[in-house]
Structure formats: C-alpha cells, structure tokens
Amino acid sequence: MKARICLMLILLIFVSLVLFKNWERSHIGKWAIKTDDFSEFEDYIIVRETYHTGTGWEIIGDNNGYYASGEIQDIIISPRLPGGRYPEPQNTFLCIVNHEGKRLHEASRTAYDCYDIIEWYPIYPVRRTVTLLPEFFYDKRFLREDELVSY
C-alpha cells in the first residue's frame, strides 16, 4: 500500500513539473498574435517553413492578405525563425522586413527574393512539433524560451 502511495506521489510530482514547464510564461517567451491584430502593422509578410528542395521558407501572404496557393513563393530570410521538425504542422509568422532584392540560392542555383527580418511574431495558434503529452496540455498562445532557438 505504501509503495502505491509513493508511486502515485512521484507520478503526481512528475506530471506537475511537466505541466509547469509547458505552461510557464517566461519573460523571454514570445506571445502569438491573432489575425485580428494584423491591422496594427503596416508593411509585413507572412511566412511559413516548408519541406522541399529549396530555401526552407515560403511567403504565404502580406499586408493585403493571404495568397492563393498559386501565388506562394519560396524566399530567403535572415535570420532564420524557430523551425519545427518534418512532417509536423508548421507555425506561421508575421514578419516586419526589409526587402533586399534577389539572391542566388546555392543549392538550387535559383534567385529568390531575400528579406532581412527586423521583427517577427508567431501567428496563433502556436503548434509544437515535439510533445511529451497530448496537444491540449500545451498553451497555443506563445512560444516558450526554449522554443525560440532556431536551428
């Protein structure tokens, strides 16, 4: 009986620590913005990570709205944004940028539009690629400090 109580206590402590880590709001974390908040920004682009031979990022919209699927283009961005792991759903980001013209992508030998990111915001909902617990345990309103590291 005492062994069961100890085991349950250890399990409770473990689950509490995992939940605290997933829901802590670090002052270094980044809050997501909702599409209703886009009007607060003037010139921006909307990007997402992509998985095919190319630049790794594509522009899917701008201050005029989201693009139709035929208008989506690969782009080069610098610095890189926090990325996920294929094949999980990827986050989208609103980015305030400076357009730097075209740059040749070394691997594909193709010229793509190049953007220097001044500021970026994840767009709600934040999706996480590696999770220990079911998805509903993770807050979708922000990226935690440890998720801000780009690879």
pLDDT for 151: 40
Question: Considering the entire predicted model, what is its pTM?
Answer: 0.78
pLDDT at residue 99 above 90? yes
pLDDT at residue 91 above 60? yes
Phi-psi domain of 65 (left: phi exceeds 0; alpha: psi -120 through 50; beta: other) = left
Q: What is the 3-state secondary structure (H, E, C) of 64-116?
A: CEECCHHHCEEEEEECCCCCCCCCCCCCEEEEEEEEEEEEEECCCCEEEEEEE
pLDDT at residue 87 above 70? no
pLDDT for 25: 56
